[in-house]
């Protein structure tokens, strides 16, 4: 504390000082609060991106080059688990309870896919008219170098989340039950009290999860191809 500030504090009435102490004590109760593990993982920048400080002239030149190449020098999005890590099923399912960050739009009359929301070119199904599941929003998260897109659907107080994990299929999960519906092979299992169905669409892993929703219902939704309008 500076001398000036210390003199000001000495001049305060004791009751006012007591208020300051009370507030500081209250704030101290949250000062041990740590970021959740999931957030820590998401913001953990890989050590590979550490770069030693450059000399001043090089820094100036570097700034010009950086301005030209923009985001190409650094990862444009926050990574979970580093660039080389593969997303896990648990991470994908964990996204399903996160809030949607953007709204989805109603499709044009008769369309069976949601407009504007795609994951590596794959659209998400529009289920509201057929099954009553209304898409309320979506979010995007980058995990292990892959951009996961999750659409949240609700119906009668229940909520399910449909995540598409682009890229090579996620590692197979032990203990899953295999179901074949309408020509699609799905794997059904429970992850932390949530029922989960996993299947592939054009080689990309799709994860549909919900709490209190029967495995059969998830499998049925996951396998529904909308008469061929939903690409598989």
Partner 1 sequence: VSDPPPARLLDPGSLGDHVDRLYRAARALCGSPEDAEDLVQETYTRILEKPRWLRSDDDLGYLLRVLRNTHYSRLRAAARRVRTDPLPDELDRLQDRSAPAPQDALDAEAVYALIAQLPDVFREALVAIDLVGLSYREAARALRVREATITTRLYRARQRLARALEDQADDRLPA
Asked if residue 78 binds partner 1 (CB under 8 A), the reply is yes
Stretch that binds partner 1, among 53-61, 109-117, 121-129, 219-227 (CB under 8 A): 53-61
* Binding flags for partner 1, 200-219, as an x/- string (CB under 8 A): -----------x--------
Stretch that binds partner 1, among 42-50, 106-114, 116-124, 219-227 (CB under 8 A): 42-50
Asked if residue 49 binds partner 1 (CB under 8 A), the reply is yes
Non-local (6+) Cβ contacts of 34 within 8 A are: 40
Asked if residue 24 binds partner 1 (CB under 8 A), the reply is yes
Non-local (6+) Cβ contacts of 84 within 8 A are: 46, 144, 145
CB of 97 to partner 1, least distance (A): 4
CA 64 to centroid of chain Cα atoms = 33
Stretch that binds partner 1, among 120-128, 152-160, 179-187, 219-227 (CB under 8 A): 152-160
Coil, strand, or helix at residue 24? Answer: helix
E strands, 65-169, are 113-119, 122-125, 134-143, 146-155, 158-165
Separation CA 225–CA 117 (nearest Å): 17
Nearer of residues 184 and 209 to partner 1, judged by Cβ: 209
**Sheet with 194-201, side-by-side order of all strands:** 134-143, 146-155, 158-165, 204-210, 194-201, 184-191, 177-181
Nearer of residues 84 and 203 to partner 1, judged by Cβ: 84
Separation CA 152–CA 136 (nearest Å): 6
Separation CA 172–CA 226 (nearest Å): 27
Asked if residue 105 binds partner 1 (CB under 8 A), the reply is no
Q: Residues interacting with partner 1, by CB under 8 A?
A: 5, 8, 16, 18-20, 22-24, 26-27, 29-40, 42-47, 49-51, 53-54, 56, 59, 62-63, 66, 70-71, 73-78, 90, 93-94, 96-103, 136-137, 152, 154, 159, 192-194, 211
């Amino acid at each position: 504390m500076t001398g000036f500030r210390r003199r000001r504090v000495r001049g305060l009435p004791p009751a006012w000082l007591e208020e300051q102490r009370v507030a500081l004590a209250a704030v101290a109760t949250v000062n041990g609060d740590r970021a959740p593990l999931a957030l820590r993982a998401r913001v953990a920048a890989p050590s590979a991106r550490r770069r030693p400080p450059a000399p001043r002239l090089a820094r100036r030149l570097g700034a010009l080059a950086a301005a030209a190449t923009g985001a190409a020098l650094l990862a444009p999005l926050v990574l979970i688990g580093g660039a080389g890590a593969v997303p896990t099923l648990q991470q994908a399912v964990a996204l399903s309870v996160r809030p949607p960050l953007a709204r989805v739009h109603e499709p044009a009359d008769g369309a069976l896919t949601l407009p504007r929301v795609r994951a590596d070119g794959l659209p998400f199904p529009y289920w509201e008219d057929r099954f009553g599941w209304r898409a309320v929003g979506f979010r995007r998260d980058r995990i292990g170098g892959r951009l996961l897109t999750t659409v949240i659907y609700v119906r009668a107080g229940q909520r399910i989340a449909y995540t598409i994990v682009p890229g090579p299929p996620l590692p197979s999960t032990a203990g899953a039950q295999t179901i074949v519906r309408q020509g699609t092979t799905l794997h059904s299992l429970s992850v932390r009290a949530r029922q989960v169905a996993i299947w592939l669409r054009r080689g990309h892993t799709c994860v549909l999860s919900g709490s209190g929703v029967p495995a059969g219902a998830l499998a049925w939704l996951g396998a529904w191809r909308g008469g061929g309008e939903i690409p598989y």
